[in-house]
Each structure stands twice: as structure tokens, then as C-alpha cells.
Amino acid sequence: MKSISPCRSVRRAATATFALSILLTACGGSGGDDASSQGPVTLEFWGWANGQEAVVKAFNAAHKDVQLKYTKVTDQLGTQKQLSNAVKANNAPCLVQNTAEYVTSWVSQGALADITQYVKSKESAFNEGAWSGAQVQGKVYGVPTSSAPSFTVYRTDVFEKYGLEAPATWDDFIASGEVLKKHGIKVTNYAGEDPSTLEVLAMQAGARWYTIDGNAWQVNFQDKGSLQAAEVIQEIIDKDLNSKLSFSDYAALQRNFDSGGTVTRQISTWQMSGMVQNFTKSLGEWALSPWPAFAGSAVRTPAGTNQSAGLNLVTEQCKHPEQAAEAALWLSTDPGAVKTMATPGTGSGVLPALKDSSPYTDMTISKELLGKNYEPAKKIVNDSLGTVNTDWTFGPNWTAMFTELQSQWGKVVSKELKVTELLAHMQKWTVDDLKSRGINVKG
């Protein structure tokens, strides 16, 4: 494995004998923080979310012995590049905002500190789905900051016009799509650059693209769950039930939803703000329903995806990991800080990672978008957090794997490649990539 840790050779050898846990040997480092023996401990904190400057200011006002020095980075992807450079230079910050899909990769590179001993006692304060995103092999490397409740948002006026109900299963979803197609309406949109559709449906179906088997990674893109997801997606594509609008023309995409060209989305709370900002015709006509279930299965919600499944990570180079862990806990549990981050305008409008996030739900969903469907929507959001599958593992080469998946997904959307063919390609590609990095792999 190509480690970006200063202890490159040591961690490369460790990877060959044990996938992750041995990697976390301390190797010193600058710690990315500046503390005088006579003054408070100062911890560098990198993040991109709206509202963080305000909560850092509140933290510093409430603490004498520990202070946070905040640096706003560009975005999620920019953070990965900047953190990589900082780790190489032995100058990583103590705390860094991130999302769950990157945790395993950073752990495998020896970039994160095991803070289990400092935060384990607070596990009960967080919902299970959010807490699972901060762990690798039972060890905790960060503190959850936000949840990603997942649900379907759909056009009630269009569904009612054609005698349809909110789809309870994927079979219902496809059947609704066939009815809508007769009227020139698409039931969903598959952007050619965004393979997260396949990821989250596989996740929901119980797929396990990566698992840890003894001292090796097990890779399986062709398990039962993956094939079940592939079958649903392939049927939607083959029957031309989906739009093919790119997120690169965001305004056009939103106009299509607003005008009734496409009438459902599987989203989280943070994505609703873009709809409100861009809609002029359909405000008040949308409602929420649970994710469609696979036939014969109970409702399951994919683990939090993308930007909203957030956490603050503690780096291995931090000289004060205990203080960093405690600061991260405060940022995620202090009522004032949580309210600031959950409120659109002052923060990012994302649902907190707390065990009970219901007091903040009404801040993160839009009454303007949902109209008369606003009150029932609160229960849909809160219930979704209780159906999250928590045993999905992001592999140590997740970023590279997802980039390859993304490069091929457009061929699936354009019918040049079957979903099963893509899965077969990803199976071989991922195994080969892990081997090229010196990582022990089965599959």
C-alpha cells in the first residue's frame, strides 16, 4: 500500500500482515497544534461547513484551557487533498471535518488517532447509524456531527392525477414509472456522472463490497445484495423510466423537477434547500415517504451518504488527542452548537447525529416545499434514522474505487454497459488495485 504517513515503510509492512489495526503505531509528528506550557492548548481545526466559525467562537469563549484555531477549507474533496499534503509534511491539523466514506482510507494510511478511550462512554448520545460511520474494526477515530436521513420525496399532485400512491417497494416504484412514462414523465433521474445510485441501493440490499476477513480484505461486488440492486436499476434503465440529467447543469435539473418532468428523488434533508431555492411552480406539492423496500424485505435505509454523513476526525499527528476528542464531543453535543449547525442560515441545515434529533427536524425540512405534507414528513425523517443498516464498510481504496466506478457509470446510463457487467469490472479492478498497493486481499 502506498502510505502517505511519515512512517511509510513501517506501515507498509504492517499492512501486509494485518489490514488495519497494526497501522496505528505512533510515530510522532508536529501535531498541527501550537501549545505553550504556560498557556492554553491550541488545536488546529479544518472544516468547510457553514456555521463552524460561529461554534468555534462559542467553544473558545466557554473554554480556558483549550482553544480551537479554525481554518475554512474549500469543500469535501479539497479537504482530502489538503489533508494528504499536510500528513506528508508532518503538519496535519488536530481536528478535521470529513465524511464516513473516507475514514477507512485514512485509518489504513495511519493518518488518524484511535480515540476510543476518550469518547466510548458517550456513544449513547448518538444514533447508531452516525456512530458506526466513525468506527473501523470497533475502534473510534472521530465524533459524528450530522446524520443523513434518507427518504423519497415525490410530487403529490402528479401521483394523485394518475391514481398513484407513494411506492412502498421497488416493484411499486417501477410500476409507477411505467404509468408515468405513458404521460411523458420520468419517475427518477440517473446522472451519468453519479454512481451513488448503485452504491446506496446495494447498501440497502445488504451488499458488502468490502469486508475484513482475518488479516485480509474480502472484496465482493457480485454478492446477492449487489445483484438485487443491479436488477432494479437495470429494469428502470431498460424501460426508459429515468431522466439522464447531469448535476453539472444544476439549474436545468431543478427546473425539470419543478416542471414535473421527473417526479421523485431519493435524498436527504440537506438536498431539500436546493429545491426550495430553485423551484417556482411546485412548492407545496411535494411529500416524503420511506425508501422503497426490496420485495419481501423490511424497510431499510442506506447508511448516510456523501456530505451529510459528517464527523470530526482526530489525526495521528495531533499532540493532544484527548483534548481534541473532548472538543469534538462538545461541538457535536452542546445544545447551542448543535442548534447553530442545524439551522439553515446560521449553519448547514443538516440533521444532528444525536440519539434523538427530533427537536431539530423541523429546522432541516422545508415547510415551503412540503406545504400540507410538512407535519407528516417529520416522522418520515426521524423514523428513517432507526432503519439504517450499520454494517457497511468503506474499503481502504474507496476514493480510487469510486473514481473508477464513476468513469464507467455513464456507460450504464447510456445502455452501453449492463449493471452486472459494471459490477464484474469493479470486482476485478478493485482486487487488482488493492494488490498493487501491497494490501492483502481476497476476492
User: Tens of pLDDT along 93-144?
Assistant: 999 999 998 999 999 899 999 999 999 999 999 998 889 889 998 999 999 9
User: Tens of pLDDT along 387-427?
Assistant: 877 778 899 999 899 999 999 999 999 999 999 999 999 99
What would the grid cell of residue 348 be? 448547514
For the cut 90, the answer to whether the pLDDT of residue 18 exceeds it is no
Task: Give the confidence band of 288 by pLDDT, cuts at 50, 70, 90.
Answer: very high
For the cut 50, the answer to whether the pLDDT of residue 35 exceeds it is no
Give the per-residue pLDDT at 442: 87
Give the per-residue pLDDT at 30: 42
- What whole-number percentage of the chain has pLDDT above 90? 74
Q: In the sheet that 310-314 helps form, which strands lie side by side, from edge to edge?
A: 66-72, 41-47, 95-99, 310-314, 142-144
For the cut 90, the answer to whether the pLDDT of residue 10 exceeds it is no
Task: Give the confidence band of 76 by pLDDT, cuts at 50, 70, 90.
Answer: confident
For the cut 90, the answer to whether the pLDDT of residue 187 exceeds it is yes
Give the per-residue pLDDT at 364: 87
For the cut 80, the answer to whether the pLDDT of residue 296 exceeds it is yes
Give the per-residue pLDDT at 344: 81
User: Tens of pLDDT along 322-359?
Assistant: 999 999 999 999 999 999 999 887 888 888 999 999 99
| Per-chain mean pLDDT for the chain | 89
Give the per-residue pLDDT at 196: 93
**Which residues are paired to 169 by β-bridges?**
293
Average pLDDT on 161-165 reads 98
Give the per-residue pLDDT at 27: 38
Average pLDDT on 290-315 reads 79
Q: Are strands 210-213 and 135-136 parallel, antiparallel or unpaired?
A: unpaired
Give the per-residue pLDDT at 303: 67
Q: Return the sign of the alpha-carbon dihedral for residues 363, 347, 266, 367.
A: positive
- What whole-number percentage of the chain has pLDDT above 70? 90
Average pLDDT on 248-257 reads 95
Give the per-residue pLDDT at 348: 81
For the CA atoms of the chain, what is the radius of gyration? 22
For the cut 80, the answer to whether the pLDDT of residue 26 exceeds it is no
User: Tens of pLDDT along 122-135?
Assistant: 999 999 888 988 99
Highest mean pLDDT among 34-38, 176-180, 273-277, 393-397: 176-180
